[in-house]
Amino acid sequence: MYAYSKRLSDLIARKYQAFIHEQRCYDNVFHLLTERIPELYPLSKVSVLFCYYKGADSRYYRHVFILYDNELVEPLPYVNMNEENRSSLVPIRLIPSIEDYFQMVRKDGNSSLANVLYEDEIKAVNQAKIWQKLWIRDLSNLYRDFE
């Protein structure tokens, strides 16, 4: 289970409100990392986690977190970061550096990395057996290539 930095999450949420928008986690992470905010220095301590998290309705939602020094940073106040929810995260891929993350964004053409991570995502959903618990929009994105 990942630890959570409430202090850093709250600080970033307050200080960088212009970069943080509800239901836009991919863009939020991209903007926070491209702005190279001092709270995330040294950059060698930053990684990016794409995953599914369990919402209040017990559905799983595709999401992305910044990890700083191996602790989750979540500036969106509606994402429940309690221990139970953190233990139910379904990792898609942990990207170990922001250089790797930006390279993947360039390759994908989108901060969601939906194309680059597609196979990893299918594998994660299969292993966790959460197909029937996925939010409908995330589910429909996974069915895009099936006939």
Secondary structure E strands in the chain: 3-4, 46-54, 60-68, 71-73, 90-95
What are the pLDDT digits (tens) for 37-61? Answer: 999 999 999 999 999 999 999 999 9
Longest dimension (CA), the chain: 47
Q: Where are the domains of the chain?
A: 3-145
* 56-68: average pLDDT: 96
Torsion of CA 139, 18, 36, 38, to 10 degrees: -120
* pLDDT tier for residue 71 given thresholds of 50, 70 and 90: very high
Question: Residue holding tokens 């309690």?
Answer: 82
